[in-house]
């Protein structure tokens, strides 16, 4: 568990099960809106995970969700922002984007378990994750144009890359919300679970990923992300470079040996 720098209680909750970390945005009284403190605390949480991995810790997957039933995250904290100067807002925009980029580049898969509303920056946070699984009651949307602004934490770019330009334009220009089932049809979420079973479903997905070799996960994620916007030949070169990094790992030999010996592999992340 973490507390904010100011000592505010538990803006972000962390629990561990095996090599999976479960992270909960914990401002249910404000629909888990991204206050500056929450953004900083979440950033520190991911930085601590990254440091743990760099020093050989066995963290293989992160699940991110919101406290309560109403919201995954209702976006930027509109009450707090109202008190800011333009320069304050620009600084926050930088901090928010640094958080999103950190989640997107995190060296292990990150799953958004969307337990309720994911709006504005909350939807953008889910889009920065690698996989999205949603409760059947969840709704996702980018209402910014209705507030006189536009998505500013990666939404225009990440949604277009995940679901295509037409879907990104439809959701961004109308500010319309889509339900979980439609989000799945659009390819935004990969799985929909009954609201009461989202925790179990996301833990199952995390467990599936945690059974894989962590360096292979990291390299595959890097290859997809770094290659996605490139022409095919360049993307294939990125894949080749990432493959080279897993070729020399102990886990690669363990995977081959385990297959030959007809036993489950025991990956060490080396």
Enumerate the active-site residues: 124, 144
Strands 139-141 and 191-193: unpaired
Which residues touch 141 (CB under 8 Å, ≥6 apart)? 118, 119, 120, 123, 171, 175, 176, 177, 178
Structure tokens at 263: 């036993």
Strands 131-135 and 110-114: parallel
Phi, psi of 131 (to 5 degrees): -135, 145
What is the separation of C-alpha 184 from the centre of its chain, rounded to a whole number of angstroms? 16
Please select the residue that binds ligand CO8; options are 13, 14, 30, 50, rule is CB under 6 A.
30
* Binding flag, residue 77, ligand CO8 (CB under 6 A): yes
Q: Which is nearer to ligand CO8, 77 or 130 (CB)?
A: 77
> CA–CA separation, 196 vs 30, rounded Å?
21
Residues 63 and 202 sit within 8 Å (Cβ to Cβ): yes
> CA–CA separation, 22 vs 223, rounded Å?
25
Please select the residue that binds ligand CO8; options are 21, 23, 39, 76, rule is CB under 6 A.
76
> CA–CA separation, 212 vs 61, rounded Å?
10
Identify the bridge partners of residue 134 per DSSP, sorted by sequence position.
Answer: 114, 192
Judged by CB under 6 A, the chain residues 135 through 164 that form the site for ligand CO8 are 143-144, 147, 152-153
CB of 235 to ligand CO8, least distance (A): 29
Question: Which residue, among 25, 38, 68, 15, has the nearest Cα to 198 in the 3D structure?
Answer: 68
Candidates 72-80, 106-114, 239-247, 259-267; binding stretch for ligand CO8 (CB under 6 A): 72-80
Q: Which is nearer to ligand CO8, 74 or 205 (CB)?
A: 74
Candidates 15-23, 49-57, 66-74, 181-189; binding stretch for ligand CO8 (CB under 6 A): 66-74
* Binding flag, residue 89, ligand CO8 (CB under 6 A): yes
CB of 91 to ligand CO8, least distance (A): 9
Residues in contact with ligand CO8, counted by CB under 6 A, come to a total of 25
The interface mask with ligand CO8, positions 91-120, x = CB under 6 A, is: -xx--x--------------------x-xx
Candidates 7-15, 28-36, 199-207, 220-228; binding stretch for ligand CO8 (CB under 6 A): 28-36
Q: Which is nearer to ligand CO8, 12 or 31 (CB)?
A: 31
Residues 125 and 64 sit within 8 Å (Cβ to Cβ): yes
Q: Which is nearer to ligand CO8, 78 or 165 (CB)?
A: 78
CA distances from 195 to 20, 117, 134, 202 (A): 21, 12, 8, 11
Which residues touch 98 (CB under 8 Å, ≥6 apart)? 43
Q: Which is nearer to ligand CO8, 99 or 213 (CB)?
A: 99
Q: Which residues bind ligand CO8 (CB under 6 A)?
A: 30-31, 33, 70-71, 74-79, 81, 89, 92-93, 96, 117, 119-121, 143-144, 147, 152-153
């Amino acid at each position: 568990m973490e507390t904010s720098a100011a000592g505010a209680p538990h803006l972000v909750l962390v629990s561990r099960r095996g090599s999976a970390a479960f992270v909960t945005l914990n401002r249910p009284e404000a629909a888990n809106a991204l206050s500056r403190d929450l953004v900083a605390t979440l950033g520190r949480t991911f930085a601590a995970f990254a440091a743990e991995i760099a020093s050989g810790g066995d963290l293989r997957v992160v699940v991110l969700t919101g406290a309560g039933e109403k919201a995954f995250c209702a976006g930027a904290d509109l009450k707090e922002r109202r008190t800011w100067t333009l320069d304050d807002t620009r600084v926050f925009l930088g901090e928010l984007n640094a958080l999103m980029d950190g989640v997107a580049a995190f060296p292990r898969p990150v799953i958004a378990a969307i337990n309720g509303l994911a709006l504005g920056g909350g939807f953008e946070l889910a889009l920065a994750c690698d996989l999205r699984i949603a409760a059947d009651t969840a709704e996702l949307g980018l209402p910014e144009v209705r507030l006189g602004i536009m998505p500013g934490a990666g939404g225009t770019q990440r949604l277009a890359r995940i679901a295509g330009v037409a879907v990104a334009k439809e959701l961004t220009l109308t500010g319309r919300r889509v339900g979980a089932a439609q989000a799945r049809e659009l390819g935004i979420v990969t799985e929909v679970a009954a609201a009461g079973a989202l925790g179990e479903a996301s833990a199952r997905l995390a467990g599936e990923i945690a059974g894989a070799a962590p360096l292979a996960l990291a390299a595959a994620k890097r290859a997809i992300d770094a290659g996605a916007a490139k022409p095919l030949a360049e993307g294939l070169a990125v894949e080749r470079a990432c493959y080279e990094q897993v070729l020399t790992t102990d886990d690669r030999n363990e995977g081959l040996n385990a297959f030959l010996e007809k036993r489950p592999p025991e990956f060490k992340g080396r």
